[in-house]
Amino acid sequence: MMPGMFALCAISMGMAAYLNSRIVERLGMRLISHTALLLFIAVTGLHVLIAALGLEQIWTFVVLQSLTMAAFSLSVSNFGAMAMEPMGSIAGIAASLQGFISTFSGALVGILIGEQFNGTTVPLAAGALCCGFVSLGFVLLAEKGRLFRAHHSGSQPEALHNAPIEGASL
Share of the chain above pLDDT 70, in %: 88
Is the predicted pLDDT of residue 42 greater than 80, yes or no?
yes
* Residue 133: closest CA among 16, 42, 2: 42
pTM given for the model: 0.83
Instruction: Assess contact for 83 and 89: CB atoms under 8 A.
Output: no
1-10, 42-51, 96-105: segment of lowest average pLDDT: 1-10
10's CB contacts (< 8 A; 6+ apart) are 69
Q: Does the pLDDT at position 149 exceed 90?
A: no
Secondary structure percentages of the chain, helix, strand, coil, to 5: 80, 0, 20
The confidence score (pLDDT) of residue 158 equals: 40
| Distances in whole angstroms, Cα of residue 132 to Cα of each of 41, 42, 49, 170 | 5, 9, 15, 53
Residue 35 has pLDDT above 70, yes or no: yes
When mean pLDDT is compared over 40-44, 85-89, 138-142, the highest value belongs to 40-44
Tallying the residues shown for the chain, one arrives at 170
Give the number of other CB atoms < 10 A from CB of residue 51.
20
Question: Cα(50)–Cα(62) distance, rounded to whole angstroms?
Answer: 13
Confidence of residue 166 (pLDDT cuts 50, 70, 90): very low
Mean pLDDT of 104-114: 96
